[in-house]
Structure 1
Amino acid sequence: MTIYLQLYWEFFKTGLFAIGGGMATLPFLKDIGASTGWYTYSDLMNMLAVSESTPGPIGINMATYVGYLVGGLPGAVIATLGEVTPSIIVILLIAVLLKNFQDNQYVNWAFYGLRPASTGLIGGACVAVMLEVLTFVHISAGGIVNTFGLEGGQIFNLPALALAAVLLVLTNWVKKVKEWHPIVFIGLSAVVGVIFHFGGV
């Protein structure tokens, strides 16, 4: 029972404070993994890949994934409920109150501060994902400031960089291809990963 309460509480906090959408949950999920030992940072990157390639909001998908990993089907349900409970409460309060305060200067100032805060959270998560996936730089959380180390002799993961560069070009500048559904790119990337693996790249 304790593990289910912990799952609910950890994801309740994540849902309450991860302002800015699903990617903003990544710093919280990283802290959960570090403090509980439920998963490693590499596991988190795999969860991110699975959550991005499945239907639904990424934050909720991640909560469901972690919950199932830790507590099976009941854990998945409880972690997901923990993630969505704050959103339900807050959006109901906002729906009731914002109409009365939408022209209030303090409310406008609060949103002015929330926008860059959420951008910073998302940006930090993106940098961490890029370092983990595209380089061999290892991030260690310890003390006030993270430390960085190098795994092996190389800095850059060249196959991952090449794949990311190809996808960047295809999804932004090749007119016929950029109209494809994102699931096509996710599927093709998975195939490339299998080919690279069996090819020993």
Structure 2
Amino acid sequence: MLWTLLVTFFKIGLVSFGGGYAILSVIEREALSQQWMTSVDFAQAVTLAGMAPGPIATNSAVLIGYKVAGIPGAGAATIGMILPSFIIIIALAVFFFKVGRERLLQMIFYGLKPMVAALIVYAAYRVGVNGQPLLGINGHTLAVVLIFIFAMIGTMKYHLHPLVVLSVSALMGIAFFM
């Protein structure tokens, strides 16, 4: 099982372009296909991973690895997740500092940014609805949307500290879902 965790998260790490939130849908697909957890479990794990310091993808790997195989599983998943990034960033650093600010490289980055944004929006959608598609407006959907709107306005317009947004969102969750 440890080898499966290591290899699975190594493969995920190889395609983790755009940061942790952008790759959450890939992590979810693997966790579900391996039957390591349900969609609801995954959404809860991502919520917990987002509250902890550090990259959310790595934190998610730790939580999934721990659920599957305890502390050794958490270690295997974490190593698998970060090893590709380590190797790739070393190669990119060598390339970037040799090539510098070539126009082609800048155009590639401009092309990748919208793709990364789309992956992040998709991951937010999946986590926000606990892996369930929105089939209509109901109390749960409305509560999720209100918490989302508060979090967006609080961070973007009022520049609230993330811990304030996190705390108020948690209280809103208690109020809405109690």
Normalised TM-score (structure 2): 0.84
Change (3 A) 1:161 1:34: same
The code of the aligned residue for 1:160 comes to: V
Separation in structure 2 between the aligned mates of residue 194 and residue 105 of structure 1, nearest angstrom: 50
Q: Which residue of 2 aligns with 1:158?
A: 142
Instruction: Work out whether 1:189 is the aligned partner of 2:173.
Output: no
The CA RMSD measured in Å over matched residues stands at 2.6
Give, in whole Å, the separation in 2 of the partners of 1:169 and 1:101: 40
Please list every run of 5 or more consecutive structure 1 residues that lacks an aligned counterpart in the other structure. Answer: 140-148
Residue 26 of structure 1 and its aligned partner are, at CA, apart by 1.0
Larger Rg: 1
Deviation string 1:51-99 (CA, Å, 9 cap, x unpaired) is 1111111111111111111110011111011110001101111122222
1:50 aligns with 2:41: no
Do the aligned partners of 1:12 and 1:84 also contact (CA within 8 Å) in 2? yes
* Higher helix content, 1 or 2: 2
Supply the distance in 1 between the matched residues of 2:114 and 2:151 (Cα, whole angstroms).
28
How many angstroms apart in 2 are the aligned matches of 1:52 and 1:72? 20
1:109-144 superposed Cα distances (whole Å, 9 cap, x missing partner): 5434433332332232233234x15xxx834xxxxx
What is aligned with 1:76? 74
2:132 aligned counterpart, secondary structure: strand
Equivalenced residues, count: 178
The answer for unaligned runs of 5 or more in structure 2 is none
Which structure carries more relative contact order (alpha carbon 8 Å, separation 6+)? 2
**What residue is the counterpart of 1:23 in the other structure?**
21
CA distance in 2 between counterparts of 1:156 and 1:20 reads: 30
Show the 5 A alignment for 1:32-181.
32-104=30-102, 107-130=105-128, 132=129, 138-139=132-133, 150=135, 154=138, 157-173=141-157, 178-181=158-161
Preserved CA contact (<8 Å) 2:13 2:80: yes
